[in-house]
Every structure is written in C-alpha cells, then in structure tokens.
Structure 1
Amino acid sequence: MTAVGRHRRPPDPRLPTDADADTDARLRAIAEGRPVVEEGVVVFPGSTVPYGYRTVHRPDGATDRHLVRLDPAPSP
C-alpha cells in the first residue's frame, strides 16, 4: 500500500482516444471495407498548446495516427 501525501499528483485525465472507441472504429473500418477517420483538437494536461490529431483506421486492421502542433497565426 502506498502512502498518500499532500504532494501526490492526481491521475492524468484520459485522452480523447480511449480503447473502446478505438476498437469500435477499427471494427467498423474492417466491416465496411473502407477507412474510418477521426479528427480533433486536444490540449494536453499542464499545457496551453493545442494539437490537431487525425487517426485513420484502415480496412486491413492497421491504424495511422498523426499529431500536429497548432501554432498561432503570425501577428501582423
């Protein structure tokens, strides 16, 4: 048993892609015989920088994931 002190960090929240949704999308891609694409924006805990993500589940069962930092537009 681990002692819990006042400096213990809380558990990190789950990211948008959880295992159940990932499995559902992968099975849908296989069953329908076409890629299933999921896109969104995420800000990781402790950060203010947004990232765009894209997950492509292919009919062969493979998954491609891309994560891109979204920089603010340059000031005029």
Structure 2
Amino acid sequence: MTAVGRHRRPPDPRLPTDADTDAWLRAIVEGRPVVEEGVVAFPGSTVPYGYRTVHRPNGATDRHLVRLDTAPPPSP
C-alpha cells in the first residue's frame, strides 16, 4: 500500500486586465507592437516607478519597470 502524497498545484495564471487584453488583441489584429507607458506609485508607497509594456503581434508581452529616483535635496 502506498501513501498518498500532497501534490502542489501550479500557480493560477495571471489574468490580464481589460486594458491588457485590449492592447494584446490590438497588437495581434493590427500586426504591429502596441506600447503602453506611464508612471505608477504602488499602494502605501511614495516611490514612483516608470513602466513600459510592449504587446507583440505574436502574442508575447514584454514588461519593464524602473524606479524613478527623485533629485537630491538642494544644498544650503
């Protein structure tokens, strides 16, 4: 008799938002990359991040996130 082991389920795939789905489909239908860029601050943080998402006609998506450092305070 063999013991039944616990099996880990693979993580659920990330479901795209409506905006992601629209851009992704637009890239496929138009046959050209669709680029989205902007600045975001995450909840509970004041640090801004720049993002760029490129939806490619082959269905792939590239995401880039860069921390935007603020300028140092002026010297007295």
Same fold judged by TM-score > 0.5? yes
4+ residue runs of structure 1 moved beyond 2 angstroms?
Answer: 1-17, 72-76
- Tell me if the contact between 1:41 and 1:52 (Cα under 8 Å) persists in the aligned partners: yes
For structure 2, which runs of at least 5 residues remain unmatched after alignment?
none
SS in 2 for 1:23: helix
Sequence identity of aligned pairs in percent?
93
For structure 1, which runs of at least 5 residues remain unmatched after alignment?
none
**Matched length:** 74
Alpha-carbon distance between aligned partners in 1 of 2:43 and 2:53, rounded to the nearest angstrom: 20
Alpha-carbon distance between aligned partners in 2 of 1:5 and 1:46, rounded to the nearest angstrom: 40
Structure of higher CA gyration radius = 2
> CA 1:15 to 1:59, structure 2 compared with 1: closer, same or farther past 3 Å?
closer
CA RMSD, Structure 1 to Structure 2 (Å): 7.3
TM-score when normalising by structure 2: 0.69
TM-score when normalising by structure 1: 0.69
